[in-house]
Structure 1
Amino acid sequence: MDKQSYFDANRKSWDERVAIHRRDDTKFYDVEQFIAGKDSLSPIEAAEIGDVKGLRIAHLQCHFGLDSISLARRGASVTGLDFSPAAVAEARALAERLGVDAQFVEGNVYDARDLLAGEFDRVYVTWGAINWLPDIALWAKVVASLLKPGGKLYLAETHQTILSLDWVEERIVPRYDWRTPKEAPIVEEVATTYTGAADELANKKTYSWQHPLSDIINGLIAAGLTLNWFREHAALVWPLFPNMKAGEDGLYRLPADHVQLPLAFSLEARKG
């Protein structure tokens, strides 16, 4: 298969998930509370993103727009980009319903420079985004091309260390190589989406890639960005493994008696 075939298969899977996520039977996204005014940013990015009032933000791989709209509610002018037409349609409908300054564009993230007009103060990328991309160095160049001089990338993601592991016989064990070749992605077939909804997916097969932290950081440096800060977190916004439990802040952690592992990381990088 070629790269476009991987994207097409993944897009079909995400198109199918949108209606399930928007219906939100399991309250994973807490959509109704969000519509009523609840912020969708987790405590991690909420504490780190800073004041965005008056900023132009490009939100890459925005799904159906909850975080984009949350940033707009904080006073930013937001343009969200996603390759799923179903996600973009839902995002546009929500933005119009809520009357916020958020626009949504359909397209592949690698085409973002051609699809999004102007330069941005921030590029925002979070949670389950870059693992769908085969070329992290090219992604970093796209990010840099979107930023104006002095503009910043904010990235928050699941930690590569934990993504190399899997749940087998009620234990967390190594399963995946730490780096995935572009031409040999991880192939998975999943019956349901990650929200816990019972709906069985017709498009079960997906393709993803592991990117070591060194490849991510060095890709950003090679693209002309300067790392302002880098942080690792012992918490995650979703339960990757069945033994992870949510705390009062809504973040998921490993049990206290389990060996503690880095579950997430975040960083800020500046152009110029």
Structure 2
Amino acid sequence: MDYLNINKQAWNERAKVHFDSSFYDVPSFLAGNSSLTEIETAELTDVAGKSLLHLQCHFGLDTLSWARLGANVTGVDLSDEAIDKARELATQCNIEAEFVCADVYEFANKRSKSFDIVFTSFGAICWLPCLTKWAQVISDSLNQGGTFYMAEFHPVQDVLDGYPYFHQAEPDVVVEGSYTQAGNNSDHEQTMVTWAHSLSEVINALIQAGIRIDAVNEFPFSPYNCFENLIEKQPKQFQSIVKGQPIPLVFSIKGTKC
């Protein structure tokens, strides 16, 4: 199965839908607002003047939001449609940024420099079959003493949606529309290939690649209303309540290249 081309085609179609969706709210970004959430901005600080690599950047809203905070940014994504839109946004906003069309593994051969920070977030790693290779790309892309930071949806939510918690050799192949509030209807369904990754798998892959884990946090909310039956307990904090208790919906990891 050529999972890479299947997912690239799907994300090319999603980029078109997402760009005009209220979920991403591009007009708000163009007006000067940041797309970053309270989780990332509280935990990844002091980016001004530092080089930042954003893996799986989609069409670059978060990448460009880091640039507005003073980072020298490079965004990478497998979707050429998304990268084209990211470059258009950068030009429109007069923000200096580099965008590279490549999947995470391919970027290892395209990379021409190292970075102070490597960043990735929300719905990224499920598209990757091997986290060992992913973590090695991160480590190789970082300067010595550089910072890795990720904020990602918690795999417990995947179990509630009927997906496995632990990694399996064979991927899940689904035909579905985009996530809630971003064009989720039958007119925009695509075939997509995903893999489950447990929290321990993520952590161990990073450790084995030479990333010292400085902090792991879990959050009982999602900053996005992108799953079914979420309840907004506070502004932009959406919870999933199971038997009266909120489940973890997001985890974050911060580390340093040793």
TM-score range, shorter chain: over 0.9
The alpha-carbon deviation at position 181 of structure 1 amounts to 2.0
State the one-letter code of the partner of 2:123. Answer: G
- SS of residue in 2 equivalent to 1:217: helix
The alpha-carbon deviation at position 201 of structure 1 amounts to 4.6
- SS of residue in 2 equivalent to 1:139: helix
The answer to whether the aligner puts 1:212 opposite 2:207 as a matched pair is: no
String of CA shifts for 1:68-120, please: whole Å, max 9, x gaps.
00000000000000000000000000001111121100001012222232110
- SS of residue in 1 equivalent to 2:152: strand
State the one-letter code of the partner of 1:212. Answer: S
Q: Which residue of 2 aligns with 1:267?
A: 253
- SS of residue in 2 equivalent to 1:205: strand
Alignment partner for residue 144 of structure 1, among 133, 139, 142?
139
Q: Which residue of 2 aligns with 1:65?
A: 60
Alignment partner for residue 151 of structure 2, among 156, 164, 167?
156
State the one-letter code of the partner of 2:63. Answer: S
Q: Which residue of 2 aligns with 1:195?
A: 181
Q: Which residue of 1 aligns with 2:160?
A: 165
State the one-letter code of the partner of 1:74. Answer: L
The alpha-carbon deviation at position 192 of structure 1 amounts to 4.3
* In structure 1, distance between residues paired with 2:210 and 2:177: 41
* In structure 2, distance between residues paired with 1:240 and 1:202: 16
Aligned residue pairs: how many? Answer: 258
Alignment partner for residue 36 of structure 1, among 31, 37, 40?
31
Q: Once superposed, what is the RMSD of the aligned Cα atoms? A: 1.7
Q: Which residue of 1 aligns with 2:12?
A: 15
8 Å CA contact 1:12–1:203 kept in 2: the answer is no
Gaps in structure 2 of 5+ consecutive residues: none
Q: Which residue of 1 aligns with 2:210?
A: 224
Q: Which residue of 1 aligns with 2:220?
A: 234
The two structures have a TM-score, normalised by structure 1, of: 0.90
- SS of residue in 2 equivalent to 1:267: strand
State the one-letter code of the partner of 1:20. Answer: V
Q: Which residue of 2 aligns with 1:56?
A: 51
String of CA shifts for 1:34-77, please: whole Å, max 9, x gaps.
10000100111111111100000000000000000000000000
Alignment partner for residue 232 of structure 2, among 238, 246, 249?
246
8 Å CA contact 2:165–2:196 kept in 1: the answer is yes
- SS of residue in 1 equivalent to 2:246: coil
Alignment partner for residue 107 of structure 1, among 102, 110, 118?
102
* In structure 2, distance between residues paired with 1:139 and 1:201: 33
8 Å CA contact 1:192–1:201 kept in 2: the answer is no
* In structure 2, distance between residues paired with 1:110 and 1:23: 29
Q: Which residue of 1 aligns with 2:163?
A: 176
Q: Which residue of 1 aligns with 2:42?
A: 47
String of CA shifts for 1:3-22, please: whole Å, max 9, x gaps.
xx111111111100111111
* In structure 2, distance between residues paired with 1:154 and 1:141: 14
* In structure 1, distance between residues paired with 2:180 and 2:99: 24
The two structures have a TM-score, normalised by structure 2, of: 0.94
The alpha-carbon deviation at position 178 of structure 1 amounts to 1.4
- SS of residue in 2 equivalent to 1:164: helix
The alpha-carbon deviation at position 133 of structure 1 amounts to 0.2
Percent identity at matched positions? 36
Q: Which moved more, 1:203-212 or 1:236-245?
A: 236-245
The alpha-carbon deviation at position 153 of structure 1 amounts to 0.7
8 Å CA contact 1:16–1:201 kept in 2: the answer is no
Q: Which residue of 2 aligns with 1:170?
A: none
Q: Which moved more, 1:231-240 or 1:66-75?
A: 231-240
* In structure 2, distance between residues paired with 1:248 and 1:98: 31
* In structure 2, distance between residues paired with 1:242 and 1:161: 14
* In structure 1, distance between residues paired with 2:184 and 2:196: 28
Gaps in structure 1 of 5+ consecutive residues: 167-174
